[in-house]
């Protein structure tokens, strides 16, 4: 059971951190039930004062746990990337993540959890700005939902790391994404159409955010996320690797590529997150936060600029496109 994967320092640190965070959130959850059951802001009875005091501590614990969980995402990417040194056939995180059935599901769940954690943090900060805890019940119910996902994530974490076989060869990026000439894009798209869609949705994204159309921005960004992912893997990534056959979303996280993947993917996540959060927050707390539109434009623009710069710089250096 304790193979080399579970004995690697990175995995131990990661799993211990996840365990500590889960324990913290379990503690918080007990108090959350008490607060939800007995909260009455207008009361001046001892129970309410105790709950107000407790809520301060509970929010601090939840805030801390959620912030650390967000920080653990790039660390998770780093952990699985490092495991490629011991998993046979793996050249980067792509091979390690597909080493068993749990990997991709776990990664997808983690992205959702980071998104929900970030929404919770925004709701919490809005609640703290007010004098009468207007969103306390919303954020506590929302935390219960996040906790449910965190519990599943923890189980998947354990299943994933305990089921990485070191005896079987895994498929990695060069095999997953095929060789030059083979079109792996969906809906009959080719690279040119994909790039047109990429810049078109970026412009739509800017327009929707400038005009503060929350629903439009939400829809456009969901599509942009998918188009941007495909564009990076199929086109821009090849300029990062300077190799037309290298189509991998993970290798760019490695030192050889100056860890640019961390910056690139986090800019895309933040850009899309802020756009989606405008809509979600409007629905959740009936409040429009102007800064979410602004940040979405900023982060998405940085993302598009980085992608475009790689192509431009390559062309300037070599005089040709890949």
Partner 1 sequence: MIEVKNLYKIFNQNKKNEFTALENVSLFIPKEQIVLLKGVSGSGKSTLLSIISSLQKPTSGDVIVDGEHIAKLPDLHASKFRNEKIGYVFQDFNLINSLNVFHNVMTPLIVQNLSKDEIKAKVINALSLANIKHKKDEFVSNLSGGEKQRVAIARALVCDANILLFDEPTANLDKQNSLKFLSLLEDFKKLKKTVIIATHDSIFEQSNVIFETINMQDGKIV
Contact set with partner 1 (CB under 8 A): 41, 44-46, 49, 52-53, 56, 128, 131-133
Nearer to partner 1, 130 or 190 (CB): 130
Q: How far is the CB of 61 from partner 1 (least distance, A)?
A: 15
Q: Is the dihedral of CA 181, 266, 79, 156 positive or negative?
A: negative
Smaller CB separation from partner 1, 135 or 235: 135
- By beta-carbon proximity to partner 1, the closer residue of 53 and 287 is 53
Comparison of 40 and 242: residue with beta carbon closer to partner 1: 40
Q: Let me know the angle formed at the C-alpha of 264 by 259 and 268, rounded to the nearest 5 degrees.
A: 155
What is the C-alpha separation between 120 and 139, in angstroms, rounded? Answer: 6
Pair 278, 296: CB distance under 8 Å: yes
Q: How far is the CB of 33 from partner 1 (least distance, A)?
A: 21
Least Cβ distance, residue 131 to partner 1 (angstroms): 5
**Please, which residues have CB within 8 angstroms of residue 286's CB and are 6 or more apart in sequence?**
none
Other beta carbons less than 10 A from residue 321's beta carbon: 11
Q: How far is the CB of 66 from partner 1 (least distance, A)?
A: 19
Shortest reach from residue 59's CB to partner 1, in Å: 10
> 46 or 319: whose CB is closer to partner 1?
46
Burial label, 167 (beta-carbon count in 10 A; 0-12, 13-18, 19+): exposed
Please report how many Cα atoms fall inside a 13 Å half-sphere around the Cα of residue 58, on the Cβ side: 23
Going by C-beta distance under 8 Å and a sequence separation of 6 or more, which residues neighbour residue 306? Answer: 260, 263, 264, 267
Pick between residue 57 and residue 313 the one whose CB is nearest to partner 1. 57
Question: Residue 130 has what DSSP assignment?
Answer: S
Q: Which is nearer to partner 1, 56 or 291 (CB)?
A: 56
Other Cβ atoms less than 10 A from the Cβ of 214: the count is: 22
In angstroms, what is the minimal distance from the CB of 52 to partner 1? 7
CB of 21 to partner 1, least distance (A): 24
For residue 265, the surrounding DSSP H or E stretch is helix 260-285
Least distance between partner 1 and beta carbon 316 (Å): 46
Decide whether 45 or 193 has the Cβ nearer to partner 1: 45
Q: What separation in angstroms does the CA of 261 have from each of 76, 221, 235, 250?
A: 13, 20, 14, 7
103, 96 contact by CB (below 8 A): yes
């Amino acid at each position: 059971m304790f193979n080399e994967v579970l004995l690697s320092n990175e995995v131990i640190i990661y799993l211990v951190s996840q365990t500590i965070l889960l324990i913290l959130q379990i503690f918080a959850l007990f108090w959350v039930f008490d607060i939800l059951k007995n909260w009455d802001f207008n009361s001046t009875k001892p129970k309410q004062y105790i709950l107000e005091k407790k809520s301060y501590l509970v929010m601090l614990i939840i805030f801390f746990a959620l912030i650390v969980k967000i920080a653990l995402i790039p660390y998770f990417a780093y952990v699985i990337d490092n495991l490629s040194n011991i998993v046979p056939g793996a050249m980067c995180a792509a091979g390690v993540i597909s080493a068993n059935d749990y990997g991709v599901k776990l990664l997808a769940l983690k992205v959702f959890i980071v998104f929900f954690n970030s929404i919770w943090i925004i709701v919490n900060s809005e609640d703290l700005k007010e004098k009468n805890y207007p969103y306390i019940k919303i954020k506590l119910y929302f935390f219960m939902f996040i906790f449910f996902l965190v519990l599943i994530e923890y189980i998947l974490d354990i299943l994933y790391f305990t089921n990485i076989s070191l005896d079987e060869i895994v498929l990695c990026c060069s095999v997953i994404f095929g060789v030059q000439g083979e079109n792996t894009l969906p809906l009959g798209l080719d690279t040119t159409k994909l790039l047109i869609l990429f810049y078109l949705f970026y412009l739509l994204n800017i327009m929707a955010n400038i005009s503060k159309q929350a629903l439009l921005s939400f829809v456009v960004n969901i599509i942009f996320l998918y188009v941007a992912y495909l564009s990076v893997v199929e086109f821009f990534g090849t300029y990062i690797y300077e190799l037309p056959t290298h189509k991998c979303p993970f290798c760019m996280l490695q030192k050889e590529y100056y860890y640019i993947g961390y910056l690139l993917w986090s800019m895309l996540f933040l850009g899309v997150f802020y756009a989606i959060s405008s809509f979600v927050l409007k629905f959740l707390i009936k409040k429009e936060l102007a800064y979410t539109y602004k940040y979405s434009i900023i982060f998405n623009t940085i993302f598009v600029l980085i992608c475009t710069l790689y192509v431009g710089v390559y062309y300037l250096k070599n005089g040709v496109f890949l």
